[in-house]
Amino acid sequence: MPEIIQQLDHLLERGTELIKNSSENELKFKPLPDKWSKKEILGHLIDSGIHNLQRFTEIQFETKPYKIRKYNQNELVNVNHYNEASSEEILSFWLAINERIKKVIELQDEQTLAYQIEIGKAEKSDFKFLIEDYVHHMEHHLHQIAKSHN
């Protein structure tokens, strides 16, 4: 999965650049009360990283197909108060969790990437899809941060 690692590296560099080139006011600005600020989007990516790191490791030893458990995205962003946290703390945590995720991805082989997963009751896929989906999800949210940056 060298190409996915390369893409993840690029996204981490891009995300770092976007956060570091934004003022604190820009990072905290909420376009609407029920919409996330840039800091909250990054916080959501931290929550996503936490949950996916757990998924990526549990799939190694849990019964297959591995059942994907959903998580409460909005509630996690709210209770973590990402908008009040320092930008450096949030950025460092996001980078650190993704460095660990990269290590886990690097350890996979064709056999483990083919491990079956169950997404909801009707949809099945494999571990490779889960990894690729994680990277695409990050890309989507960094695009949101970049779009509001201009």
For the domain with range 2-149, which CATH number is right: 2.130.10.10, 3.20.20.70, 3.30.70.1140, 1.20.120.450? 1.20.120.450
Q: How buried is residue 6: exposed, middle or buried, by Cβ count under 10 Å (0-12/13-18/19+)?
A: exposed
Confidence grade of residue 148 (pLDDT, cut at 50, 70, 90)? low
Residue among 36, 39, 69, 66 nearest 51 (CA): 69
Which residues lie below 8 Å from residue 35, measured CB to CB, with a gap of 6+? none
Residue range 28-50, pLDDT digits in tens: 999 999 999 999 999 999 999 99
Residue range 46-62, pLDDT digits in tens: 999 999 999 999 999 99
